[in-house]
Amino acid sequence: MARLPRILIAHQPHHVVQRGHRRLVVFDGPNDYRAYLRDLQTYRAALGVALHAWCLMPNHVHLLLTPGDDPRTVSALMQRVARRATRRWNARRDAGGSLWETRFRSRVIGSERYLLECCRYIEMNPVRAGLASCAPEYPWSSYRARMGLACGESLDLHPLYLELGADQEARRKAYGEWCRREE
């Protein structure tokens, strides 16, 4: 039976999830996380895909992405990043096969209100999973970049996030307080 076509919409945010094969670990250590993030930044810039939030968990990834005019760039981005991660993994282990379970899952974020909730859901994932006691402790999520605690990580701040305050400090304070309510 043929797969149903993926629903991707230009200029609309998408919550993307990709899990490791059999839900096994896909990031062995800091170098794996860094390499994935490097690839993500490179390809999203090349393809014109906005990155609003991300979280790399040991066995899966969450991304909040908005494609430009061509919504297929989300698929191209995910394919390229996943392929490179698989090649690195297999080269280190002299193995073959896919690192990832199936195609990535994607949900269009239709409601403006849900966009910020999705950001919070993604960035608080390590806290809910017990990998950190608070969001700033987890180094592999966009929370640290959003809050000015990490350098060199590019993040596209959605207009709804920008409406949280008149300046960067006010936005960070409002978003941080909102996230702490979930901890």
Domain ranges of the chain: 14-180
| Model confidence pLDDT, tens digit, residues 10-20 | 999 999 999 99
| Model confidence pLDDT, tens digit, residues 78-132 | 999 999 999 998 888 887 788 888 889 999 998 777 999 999 999 999 999 999 9
Indicate if the pLDDT at residue 151 is higher than 80: no
Confidence of residue 51 (pLDDT cuts 50, 70, 90): very high
Q: In what order do the strands lie in the sheet with 50-57?
A: 50-57, 60-66, 14-19, 105-108
Indicate if the pLDDT at residue 2 is higher than 70: no
- What's the pTM? 0.93
pLDDT value, residue 150: 82
| CATH code for residues 14-180 | 3.30.70.1290
pLDDT value, residue 183: 60
Average pLDDT score over the chain: 91
pLDDT value, residue 38: 94
